[in-house]
Structure 1
């Protein structure tokens, strides 16, 4: 892995955390929306990430004893955003304008406390990727001054 590939790896991490923050904010914004049916009620959304691997030594590692294990990460990609399939919360509120014929309204399966904890985690992961980019930049600048 070269020092310059750190920027693309950190960039993919920042992009993934940005997607995570967007889905969290969408979940929090819709946490108290109600519906009169199960089909139209908002369901919490969560991004799915996957590690992207690349051969760390290219094709030159065929003779290596650890050839199958000589891979390094090339970043992260967002495979998609999935809906949480856990149960929705029905509440008996016959006076609510969105109540169905039986008097129930359905609330989303969003736990605001969990979403806030995920938001803090995503924010810190984003900050870590920024710090990693800054450290790599400083290291590259120090390498350029070695010959002086």
Structure 2
């Protein structure tokens, strides 16, 4: 969620490209997910490739001689999907934990009744 939120917050943070003056644009990030051998997954936050896309903004103080700046490589629709996916995954994980807890409670109750 943090990665998508950072990308959305900085999606208008244009910067200089080669030949322009000023700071580089925000480098958008993406999350890579990999399966672990034990059945779980791990995630890593990595820079998007390409980090920026050229955008025509001749009035920008960061524009080069052709009026081009680097705009962060952020797609708002993609980031909205990523946020929704993260929220859904979080809710599913909470439900799994609640179900495991309920099952443990039922098991303990069954043992208490036998004793």
1:33 to 13, 19, 32: 13
Contact 1:36 1:100 survives alignment (8 Å): yes
How far off its partner does 1:82 sit? Answer: 1.6
Contact 1:36 1:105 survives alignment (8 Å): yes
Q: How many positions carry a matched residue from both structures? A: 108
User: What TM-score, normalized to structure 2?
Assistant: 0.82
Contact 1:89 1:106 survives alignment (8 Å): yes
User: What TM-score, normalized to structure 1?
Assistant: 0.65
**1:77 lines up with 2:42 in the alignment:** yes
Contact 2:25 2:70 survives alignment (8 Å): yes
Residues 97 and 135 of structure 1: CA distance in aligned 2, closer, same or farther (over 3 Å): same
How far off its partner does 1:76 sit? Answer: 2.0
Counterparts of 2:33 and 2:55, CA distance in 1: 34
Q: Structure 2: which 5+ residue stretches go unaligned?
A: none
Counterparts of 2:51 and 2:33, CA distance in 1: 24
Residues 93 and 77 of structure 1: CA distance in aligned 2, closer, same or farther (over 3 Å): closer
CA-based RMSD of the aligned residues comes to 1.9
Q: Deviations over 1:46-65 (max 9, x none)?
A: 122222223xxxxxxxxxxx
Contact 2:15 2:62 survives alignment (8 Å): yes
Larger RCO, structure (CA 8 Å, separation 6 or more): 1
Matched residue SS, 1:53 = coil
Q: Structure 1: which 5+ residue stretches go unaligned?
A: 1-20, 55-72
Contact 1:43 1:110 survives alignment (8 Å): no
Paired residues for 1:1-148 under 5 Å: 21-37=1-17, 40-54=24-38, 73=39, 75-78=40-43, 80-86=44-50, 88-147=52-111, 148=113
Counterparts of 2:78 and 2:104, CA distance in 1: 39
